[in-house]
Amino acid sequence: MANYRNLTIWKKADELALLVYRLTKEFPKHELFGITSQLRRAALSAPTNIVEGYNRKSKNELRRFLDFALGSLAEVEYLVGFAVKFGYLPETEELTLLIEETGKVLWSFQKSL
């Protein structure tokens, strides 16, 4: 099995997923099956799509899964903004920068293929 753990794109996406899980622990319990679940799924989808795509047999397959990861990242960005507007999350530079950095390295990696 290929070692995706060495990829900067996976490291960033994994870091983002962990941060999202930590931050959403404080969300109201009535949102458990709403925004909490949706945000966590989207955040976890980015690194898992990187893992799956990296372990496929072709660059075309990898590109396809990187597209999925980019879509999930866009979903995270929107949901974080929504959660901030709704008062569930404070606006933090750490989270905003991590989303931006993850997007940049993911986009760059995809373009390099």
For the chain, list the domains and their CATH numbers: 4-112 (1.20.1440.60)
Return mean pLDDT, the chain: 95
What sign does the CA torsion over 7, 9, 12, 16 have? negative
Per-residue pLDDT at 2 exceeds 70? no
Rounded alpha-carbon distances, angstroms, from residue 66 to 4, 35, 53, 84, 93: 13, 24, 7, 27, 25
DSSP result, 28-82:
-GGGTTTHHHHHHHHHHHHHHHHHHHHTSSSHHHHHHHHHHHHHHHHHHHHHHHH
pLDDT at 61: 96
What's the whole-model pTM score?
Answer: 0.93
Q: What is the pLDDT of residues 71-94, one digit of tens each?
A: 999 999 999 999 999 999 998 899
Q: Among residues 19, 42, 4, which one has the least CA distance to residue 92?
A: 19
pLDDT band for position 1 (50/70/90)?
low
pLDDT at 58: 93
